[in-house]
């Protein structure tokens, strides 16, 4: 199958982002089960941009409309992943769609694999100080899903980290969980970038006390990032400096 054909199909299905990761770049990535990647050589990373009206409405806590939007986008991502998987199988390949948001370990807060790590390896963005993927056009205002495949698709190239000295997400974090530490590609652990326990406490103990917030979500660092804001002068200057 031609790589561009698959990406075009994904966009036709509703994806805003589509990239291909060489799974060799993800060697050592924790997965559940441990042999999840066995038999696969590529990962298709797909993303949908969250609605600016929803994200811009977040101040220092998640809103009920963000809760609903978050859930609906995850459902759409799963639908797109299933359609891409069918296309791969119809083309003679093997495919394994990984659910967009399914928590498997409530102690370690992990799932089958990290969609963010796959997206970074697929050239869709870099890992921000909040641990989120930061896309140069959409910032962290994206949700992600992954499809594993054995087809020899053409991998995309990595994107340079452009967070630099920006502290917007760290300054906005209501839990003061973001350590404001930069990385070239990815952090060795979540705790290198975050006081992870503070983040977990915020989304599992404090936010559920708010009306109509049932999921462990926040969104404050997503809203704060200048790379996701339209007409952001800070993001425009950073992009200009890289030309």
Please count the residues of the chain. 243
Joined together, the tokens standing for residue 112 give: 């089958």
Q: What average pLDDT does range 3-16 have in this prediction? A: 97
Give the β-pairing of 95-98 and 133-134.
unpaired
* Residues 106/141, Cβ–Cβ less than 8 Å: no
pLDDT digits (tens, 9 = 90+) for 35-70: 999 999 999 999 999 999 999 999 999 999 999 999
Mean per-residue pLDDT of the chain = 93
Best CA proximity match to 159, nearest among 136, 187, 181: 136
The mean per-residue pLDDT over the stretch 98-115 comes to: 93
Cβ neighbourhood burial of 46 (10 Å; 0-12, 13-18, 19+): buried
Cα–Cα distance for residue pair 60/212, rounded to 1 Å: 16
**Residue 166: count of CB within 10 angstroms of its CB:** 21
142 CB-near residues (< 8 Å, 6+ apart): 16, 17, 47, 48, 49, 50, 124, 125, 133, 135
With a pLDDT cut of 70, the percent of the chain lying above it is 95
The predicted pLDDT at position 235 comes to: 65
User: Minimum mean pLDDT among 10-14, 41-45, 72-76, 103-107: which range?
Assistant: 103-107
CA–CA separation, 43 vs 45, rounded Å?
A: 6
Q: If you search the block for the tokens 């992009």, which residue do you land on?
A: 239
Taking the mean position of all CA atoms in its chain, how far away is CA 159? Answer: 14
Supply the pLDDT for residue 236.
65
What's the pTM? 0.92
**pLDDT (average), residues 225-236:** 79
Predicted confidence at residue 242, as pLDDT, reads 53
Place 239 in a pLDDT band, splitting at 50, 70 and 90. Answer: low
**By the 8 A CB rule, do 214 and 207 touch?**
no
């Amino acid at each position: 199958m031609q790589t561009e054909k698959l990406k075009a199909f994904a966009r036709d299905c509703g994806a805003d982002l589509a990239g291909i990761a060489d799974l060799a770049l993800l060697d050592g990535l924790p997965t559940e089960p441990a042999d999840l990647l066995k038999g696969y050589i590529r990962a298709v990373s797909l993303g949908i941009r969250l609605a600016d009206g929803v994200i811009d409405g977040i101040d220092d806590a998640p809103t009920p409309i963000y809760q609903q939007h978050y859930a609906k986008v995850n459902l759409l991502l799963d639908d797109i992943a299933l359609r891409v998987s069918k296309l791969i199988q119809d083309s003679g390949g093997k495919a394994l769609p990984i659910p967009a948001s399914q928590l498997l370990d409530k102690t370690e807060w992990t799932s089958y694999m990290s969609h963010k790590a796959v997206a970074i390896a697929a050239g869709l963005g870099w890992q921000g100080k909040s641990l989120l993927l930061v896309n140069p056009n959409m910032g962290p205002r994206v949700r992600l899903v992954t499809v594993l495949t054995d087809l020899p698709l053409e991998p995309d190239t990595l994107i340079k980290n452009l967070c630099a000295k920006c502290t917007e997400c760290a300054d906005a974090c209501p839990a003061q969980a973001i350590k404001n530490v930069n990385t070239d590609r990815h952090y060795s652990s979540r705790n290198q970038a975050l006081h992870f326990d503070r983040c977990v406490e915020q989304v599992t103990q404090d936010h559920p006390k708010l009306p109509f917030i049932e999921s462990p979500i926040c969104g404050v660092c997503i809203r704060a990032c200048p790379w996701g804001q339209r007409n952001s002068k800070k993001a425009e200057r950073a992009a200009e400096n890289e030309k």
